[in-house]
Copies of this chain bind each other. A is one copy, B any other.
Amino acid sequence: MSDLDQAIRQQRTTRATVTLTHNGSPLAQQEVVVQQQKHRFLFGSNWGESSIALANGELAGKEKEQAERRNERFLQLFNQVTLPFYWGRFEPQRGQPQTQRILNTARWYRDHQCVSKGHPLCWHTLTADWLLPLSKREILQAQIARIQRDVADFASLIEMWDVVNEAVIMPIFDRYDNGITRICQELGRIELIRTMFETARAANPKATLLLNDFDVSPAYDILVEGCLAAGIPIDVIGIQSHMHQGYWGVERTQVVLDQFARFKRPIHFTENTIVSGHLMPPEIVDLNDYQVSDWPSTPEGEERQAREVVLHYKTLMAHPLVEAITWWDLSDGGWLNAPAGLLRKDHSPKPAYDELLKLIKGEWWLAPTKMTTDANGQLTFTGFLGEYELSLGKQKTTFALAEKGQSQVAVNL
């Protein structure tokens, strides 16, 4: 077993002792079936346009079949989805947000046991054009009102938010004028982040709030430190890793993890991309500048992608502070038309998908397993943290394993 595999066992599994009783008496020598139902770790991906359309009953025929196939593949692997709240698309005309359409989508994911995250509440890219004629004060008020409205509207369906996205570059972003860069210049990064986090926190005190960035230089590290020193309630540090220009490798990923681990806060790898075609040239600085009509997935690329995806997920799973990995995008042809999918354009699985499935629902998963309780009504097994179902004949019950190392669970049937 590799060092990574050992660390994963250490960080992610528990030795569970389950005591079965009936009316207070131990159920000794009983044969039961135990199976995992859910990972505690969040394995996710971002929405697909087709999954939103499907959840809103907008598809029929072949399109509907394709979207259903995509959803099946999604649910086979994942328990988390990132849903789009890009302001310019979410509310293209002021006062007419597409709340209902995303509510329907979030409900579909909830009904399929997926945790939804909203992305993002405040970002300078894809923000609303109608901010441009407003004063800075009005833009700030609109941004605050937007957070209040959307976080409240989605409470209970979405309790996890990328509150501020890419704040390191936000005030110095100079590709085009936009309302959010303007208010970030005015407030400074930390005061902008404070305002947005406090607004989101007030709108839903239970929500998990992330700061998210693609910058993994000391600038982001220092920004997180500055926010925490200023008392801003950041729950989770979000790190993007769009590796269109090549997989980081284990060592670099661990350096990044170590850099942010010192804050002793949960880390989410929020946007993970590894392509199965040619790499984007290294001289591209803003990934959005690489516009190609065709970026094919190749057999060699798919094999390489599969190896790298396995290493990437293992590296992150081995680190105790990482709590979520979100793939970006599930199928080819998404952002930048990159062959970044775990599925091809027709939603057929690439090797990376199959390998991830072997881990997430294989090596890191407890399939239905027969066990027999001892004289004290106890059974013992090692499992990954998450939710489990126990069946005794026709009786079923569920329990959670939430603490790594050792767990004691009492089940009354």
Chain A residues packing against B (C-beta within 8 Å): 168-169, 172, 185, 188-191, 217-219, 222-223, 225-227, 229-230, 259, 262
Contact = CB atoms under 8 A, between A and B. Distances in A.
A146 to B, nearest CB: 24
A226 B262 CA distance: 17
A190 to B, nearest CB: 5
Given A217-B219, A218-B219, A225 B168 contact: no
A235 B223 CA distance: 21
Contacts of A191: 229
Given A172-B218, A190-B226, A229-B229, 12 more contacts: A168-B222, A189-B222, A189-B225, A190-B225, A190-B229, A191-B229, A217-B219, A225-B226, A226-B227, A226-B229, A229-B230, A230-B230
A342 to B, nearest CB: 34
A194 to B, nearest CB: 8
Contacts of A229: 188, 190-191, 226, 229-230
A272 B61 CA distance: 70
Contacts of A226: 190, 222-223, 225-227, 229-230
A188 B225 contact: yes
Contacts of A262: 185, 188
Copies of the polypeptide in the assembly: 2
28 contacts: A168-B218, A168-B222, A169-B218, A172-B259, A185-B262, A188-B225, A188-B229, A188-B262, A189-B222, A189-B225, A190-B225, A190-B226, A190-B229, A217-B217, A217-B219, A218-B219, A219-B219, A219-B222, A222-B222, A222-B223, A222-B226, A225-B226, A226-B226, A226-B227, A226-B229, A229-B229, A229-B230, A230-B230
Nearest to A185: B262
A187 to B, nearest CB: 10
Contacts of A169: 218
4 tightest Cβ-Cβ pairs between the two chains A and B: A226-B226, A229-B230, A219-B219, A190-B229
Nearest to A215: B218
A165 to B, nearest CB: 16
A227 B226 CA distance: 7
A164 B381 CA distance: 54
A191 B226 CA distance: 10
A34 to B, nearest CB: 44
Nearest to A219: B219
A229 B189 CA distance: 10
A169 B219 CA distance: 11
Contacts of A259: 172
Task: Please indicate which of the listed interface residues A168, A188, A259 has the most CB atoms of chain B within 10 Å of its own CB.
Answer: A188
A78 to B, nearest CB: 34
A188 B229 CA distance: 10
Contacts of A225: 188-190, 226
In the complex, which of the residues A217, A225, A259 has the most CB atoms of chain B within 10 Å of its own CB atom?
Answer: A225
A350 B227 CA distance: 48
A219 B169 CA distance: 11
A168 to B, nearest CB: 6
Nearest to A194: B229
A223 B219 CA distance: 8
Contacts of A227: 226
